[in-house]
Structure 1
């Protein structure tokens, strides 16, 4: 029986006091019996949590009452056991490290495209203006090896902070194309899309909600393999169930 609710989500928002928010969240999450990781920074929040459904929803409710987090969304999946070993609530310089200070998603997002539109573009081979569509995997190489979109561009990144340099080396191959950047849940492809826009690429979108939202809304069409996740489930199939 899959009785454990797993949620993942992020929100780029200006958090004035991430350390104060940590002091609020940690005892509540601990008392609710939740496990997983919550990362906080001035640029926003990134979370992966699991536990009793009512407890998870209680913490999400607390988060959504915080300034800037009212529309925090969380992708939901289920497991038969707790996939995390402990609870961590950390304050970081960035909720996803890129080492590129000019990129500030909390001040404005790159354009996003929803899962069903991406599927339609991939079905027809071009976007709605006739440009060829390419998918760009912004995850680390070991994650890509578990599965990715058919024909996705993979720069064999060792870590996400390698992305800006890889873009400079490969920028020409993206010119004139509709580029859909994607990652597990959306956080990396959101920053990646902004960096590409900064580099002068005009037709760039982030996949809204990442691979997990794409699985949820399309059943994984055009995706081969599974999606790596950073917990003991290791990877999820298009049905959002553990692959092993």
Structure 2
């Protein structure tokens, strides 16, 4: 490619153990390869401080702070207060996340515990006027129900896995739809349909790294510069110029977090 994408990764986990050996090198490399912004999303209590630290160490790194549904038991009042404290003093924390519901794993906390943690964090987002990063796995109906309880809150449904109808419901509520490397997989018919049907101005691109690497790197550790494959695939699906798509996705992200890069 002669022209280089300016990549914004709307969802990453660079605090993950998968980067412990070479985190600094990877982050230097992605910056050289055209990555201009990354939203690092916390998922556990320990990742709150790790995400805060990353935003202070790297100029292109922003943070979302929240407790993932798999770790819903960790959302105590003290954790909520800690999130507030980080946000008070760090203007690079721009969202509440990764929050939501995950009914896929039997060993996850019970549904009522997950829902309670989700509602508390949606309430925090409402109180602070911040967008949310929502994780929804096999829980579309309950996720939508809770989203509707908080009409003042918007954000992104990350790693979207629902139907076109569900995507349209989310968009009506003011949400963006996050696309991962899954869209590059051969069997990704459902998500391709979603990309075709929803407006360009409601799409965000993300890695969810170290997970979800797109083709041709499927199965490898993911990183933000691989987003070029996701952008190119969505542009093909929507039959538009990939550079136009890239700029549009970046504008969408900056509109969501109300920042400039």
Q: TM-score range by the shorter chain?
A: under 0.3
TM-score (norm 1): 0.28
- Structure with the higher fraction of residues in strand conformation: 1
Structure with higher Rg: it is: 1
Which of the two has greater helix per residue? 2
TM-score of the superposed pair, with normalisation by structure 2: 0.26
